[in-house]
Amino acid sequence: MKPIPEEVLQRIWELRAYKKLLFEPTEPAGNTTSYPELFHPGIRNRDAGPDFFNAKLRVGKTILVGNVELHYAASEWAKHGHDSDPAYDNVILHVVVQNDAPVRHRVTHEPLRTCRMVLPDNLAPFEKGTDTPPLTRKEALQWKEECTALYQRRITEQARALRERLSSESIDNDEGALVRLLLLRYLGAKVNNEAFEQIARALPIRVVRKHTDHPDQLEALYFGTAGLLEDAAVDDYMRHLQEEWTFLRAKYNLPTLGGVVRKLRLRPAAFPHRRLALMAHLHYKHPSIEQQLGAVRTCSEAEKLLAVEPSEYWQYHYDFGKSSAKPLGTISRNTAVVIILNVVIPYLWYLAEANSLGDARKEELLAMARTLPPETNSIVSEARRRGLCIANALESQALLQQIAERAH
């Protein structure tokens, strides 16, 4: 069979249009089924890294949440260099059409869970189709009326996922640790979201809280954990942070995650050093940020809370020794909107349910989503091309929920 482009495989996976998924030739050890049961295909990644983030599936009796990588042949894992790339360490499932070679985890060297995807007989719709399933005229007319209900189902599912994350080993029912992990993930954006989440899991929140009155120590903790202080110092500030990190690492027995952070294809303001410095100064300005976020009533309040400026050094640098002629300022409004939509509102919805705050509070959160601009992605673009008017973020999120429900 002629190899099939990965874009086609990704569409089939995203819409769950395959015939079946099979563990072949043998099941991974301990599984009681010969196939994975997919609950959610995840979010398509159009930058470097795994093809899908935050997929959810069941293997035997185990529920797994993580990243998925697709290839036509399993041997492409090594050909593409994934076997030496830390960005692929959190892949929970390798999906292939031809399982022609064993694949092992970069760190543990254990066999990577790989399954074969049996393709539909007719590939033409996926070769020339779009990322969204066709919408009928009736669906287009009804869609506006259904938006709120669709978004409520989506945000309720996100809140449920937050409750599950709270009980994970690295968070241990600490809402502050949960908020910090989510903020870091979205500050990392598409290129470094996995790396920043690894940093959040490796750097205990209890350690961070002990140093919220010293911004340079906070920076040392984040940069050191990220492996950004391992090279020879290029200036006095880097040397100072290295000295702080040497002391803090020994005091708290902290790890260094070398090689996880990416710098390629990034604007200066989006460099990982700048984003980690912003996270450090969020702790400095708002030591109990989970409480302050939990009290916001409007998007403008949330934006003001997020609009911290990093230290003077990072106002004029985007990497150690690499300066900017103009001050780089705080996070962009686009980044703030992404964080409010994907972190703040889901967290507030979780709090509303956990504390039984009632429908009035949830109506406030729906109103917040309506004040945000719609997301910019291929799904929204295609929907607009087909005549839908996507006016705000609630509606763009409702569109994503509709597609997920129809595919399911």
**pLDDT per position as a tens digit, 227-238:** 999 999 999 999
Residue 401 lies in a domain: no
Q: Verify that 276 and 147 share a domain, yes or no.
A: yes
Stretch among 65-69, 129-133, 187-191, 196-200 having the lowest mean pLDDT:
129-133
- Of 127, 157, 180, the position where a domain reaches its end is 127
Cα–Cα distances in angstroms (integers) from residue 354 to residues 166, 289, 363, in the given order: 12, 18, 16
Residue 105 lies in a domain: yes
Determine the Cα–Cα distance for residues 303 and 117; give it in Å rounded to an integer.
43
Q: Indicate the number of domains in the chain.
A: 2
Residue 134 lies in a domain: no
Q: Verify that 117 and 216 share a domain, yes or no.
A: no
Strand pairing class (52-59; 62-73): antiparallel
Q: Verify that 168 and 315 share a domain, yes or no.
A: yes
Cβ partners under 8 Å of residue 318, min gap 6: 268, 269, 271, 273, 274, 324, 328
pTM of the full structure: 0.72
Angle between helices 215-225 and 272-285 (to 10 degrees): 140
pLDDT band at 314 (very low <50, low <70, confident <90, very high): very high
What number is the average pLDDT over the span 367-388? 84
Q: Verify that 335 and 277 share a domain, yes or no.
A: yes
pLDDT in tens, 200-209: 999 999 999 9
Q: Verify that 58 and 155 share a domain, yes or no.
A: no
Q: Give the mean pLDDT of the chain.
A: 87
pLDDT band at 199 (very low <50, low <70, confident <90, very high): very high
Residue 326 lies in a domain: yes
Q: Verify that 211 and 114 share a domain, yes or no.
A: no
Q: Verify that 267 and 384 share a domain, yes or no.
A: yes
- Position with higher pLDDT, 370 vs 163: 370
What number is the average pLDDT over the span 192-201? 89
Residue 402 lies in a domain: no
Whether the predicted pLDDT of 335 surpasses 80: yes
Q: Verify that 303 and 188 share a domain, yes or no.
A: yes
pLDDT in tens, 273-305: 999 999 999 999 999 999 999 999 999 999 999
Range of the domain at 341: 143-394
Q: How many C-beta atoms surround the C-beta of residue 172 within 10 A?
A: 13
- Of 98, 127, 156, the position where a domain reaches its end is 127
Q: Verify that 39 and 170 share a domain, yes or no.
A: no
Q: Verify that 183 and 83 share a domain, yes or no.
A: no
Q: Verify that 120 and 181 share a domain, yes or no.
A: no
Residue 408 lies in a domain: no
Residue 68 lies in a domain: yes
Q: Verify that 78 and 181 share a domain, yes or no.
A: no
